[in-house]
């Protein structure tokens, strides 16, 4: 997964592809496990952060001989 844009996601848009709850994402924000951008009172997450989490959890399949 490669992203060239600087799109900012809402928490709901961040949760959907990961299949996590909104409360889980909020906990990650509070624990500073994910990078955020504050726009006034709003919290946005860079799309690159979603890519980082997916790539960090990726475990390639092992080919059986």
Q: What is the pLDDT of residue 26?
A: 96
**pLDDT, averaged in runs of 10, over the chain (65 residues):** 72 95 96 95 95 88 81
- Nearest CA among 17, 6, 9 for reference residue 57: 17
Q: What is the pLDDT of residue 61?
A: 82
Contact 35, 49 (CB under 8 A): yes
Rounded CA separation 64/10 (Å):
41
Q: What is the pLDDT of residue 2?
A: 47
- Domain ranges in the chain are 8-55
pTM: 0.78
Q: What is the pLDDT of residue 31?
A: 96
């Amino acid at each position: 997964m490669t992203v060239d844009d600087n799109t900012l996601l809402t928490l709901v848009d961040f949760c959907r592809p990961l299949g996590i709850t909104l409360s889980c994402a909020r906990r990650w924000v509070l624990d500073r496990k994910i990078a955020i951008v504050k726009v006034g009172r709003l919290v946005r997450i860079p799309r690159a952060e979603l890519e980082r989490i997916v790539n960090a959890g990726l475990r390639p399949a092992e080919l059986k001989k």
